[in-house]
Every structure is written in C-alpha cells, then in structure tokens.
C-alpha cells in the first residue's frame, strides 16, 4: 500500500509526466528496491534452504501429463521457452512489421534491456522466495 501511495503521489506523478517512458520504468524498478531491501534486512541469518536457494539439476526427469514419457529439464526448458515466446514473437511481427532501419537502435539498446530484465527478474524472485519462506509467517 505504501508503494502505491508513493506512486500516486503528486511529486511522483508530476515527475513521470515530464520524463520519458523508459526513465519512468527504471525509476519504478528502483522504487521497488525499497521493499526488497527491507526484506533483505529481515533475512539476515536465514539459511539458503529456508529461502529455497538450491542448485538445480537440469538432468532431472520431469513427468509429463497424459502418460507421456518423462523428459529432462535441459530439454523441457528450451521447449517451453519456444512454446511461450514463439507466439509472442509472431504477434509482434504481425502487429509491427520489422524495419531494418531500426535494427542498429535495437542492438545498442539490447545490453540495457537485458540488464533491466535481469534486475527486474531478480527482484521478483527475491520477493517470491521470501513470501514462501518462514520469514513471511507470523510465528
């Protein structure tokens, strides 16, 4: 609630109206660091297993529904990524036709876009792990 109040505040609303959309997104992500930092402070002394931080085994077999044979995550992960990202890419191509003149701008923005995606995903994973751990329980 506090984050929503800050974002709806007059100062924040006036500032986001003056800056570009990208700057507003970066500021929003930085603002989301406040609850993550507060959660991190409460996590001092909590073990990795409590926060569900363990190494995965990509060779582990995962059963598929409908009696299909088991498959490893090394094969299932990329297949699911293509399954979900493929239709999105097709929709984007159909909505906004590719323009080769914009490729250089897209390539120069790629490192920043990947860094932003990693930063945002790390925040989401941290908050999810904390909510599922004993730190979010009242006892």
Task: Work out the pLDDT band at 138, boundaries 50, 70, 90.
Answer: very low
Inform me whether the pLDDT recorded for 91 exceeds 80.
Answer: yes
Answer whether 73's CB lies under 8 Å from 62's CB: yes
* Prediction pTM value: 0.48
Inform me whether the pLDDT recorded for 139 exceeds 50.
Answer: no
For the chain, the domains span: 55-136
Q: Which position has the token pair 């959660």?
A: 39
* Residues β-bridged to residue 61: 72
Type and span of the H or E element at 62: strand 61-62
Inform me whether the pLDDT recorded for 38 exceeds 50.
Answer: yes
Choose among 135, 137, 138: nearest CA to 50. Answer: 135
What span, in angstroms and rounded, lies between the C-alpha atoms of 114 and 96? 21
What span, in angstroms and rounded, lies between the C-alpha atoms of 23 and 15? 10
Task: Work out the pLDDT band at 24, boundaries 50, 70, 90.
Answer: confident
Choose among 23, 6, 46, 33: nearest CA to 124. Answer: 33
DSSP-derived 3-state class of residue 94: helix
pLDDT at 46: 67
pLDDT at 48: 62
- 86: its two tokens: 């493929």
Residue 18 C-alpha from the chain's centroid: 26
Highest mean pLDDT among 32-36, 80-84, 122-126: 80-84
């Amino acid at each position: 609630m506090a984050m929503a109040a800050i974002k709806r505040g007059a100062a924040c609303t006036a500032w986001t109206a003056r800056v570009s959309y990208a700057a507003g997104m970066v500021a929003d992500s930085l603002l989301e660091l406040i609850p993550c930092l507060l959660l991190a402070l409460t996590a001092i002394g909590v073990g990795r297993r409590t926060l569900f931080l363990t190494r995965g085994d990509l060779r582990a077999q995962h059963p598929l529904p409908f009696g299909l044979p088991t498959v490893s995550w090394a094969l299932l992960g990329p297949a699911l990524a293509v399954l979900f990202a493929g239709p999105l890419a097709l929709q984007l191509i159909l909505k906004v036709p590719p323009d080769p003149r914009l490729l250089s701008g897209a390539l120069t923005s790629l490192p920043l876009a990947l860094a932003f995606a990693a930063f945002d995903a790390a925040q989401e994973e941290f908050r999810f792990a904390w909510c599922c751990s004993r730190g979010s329980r009242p006892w």
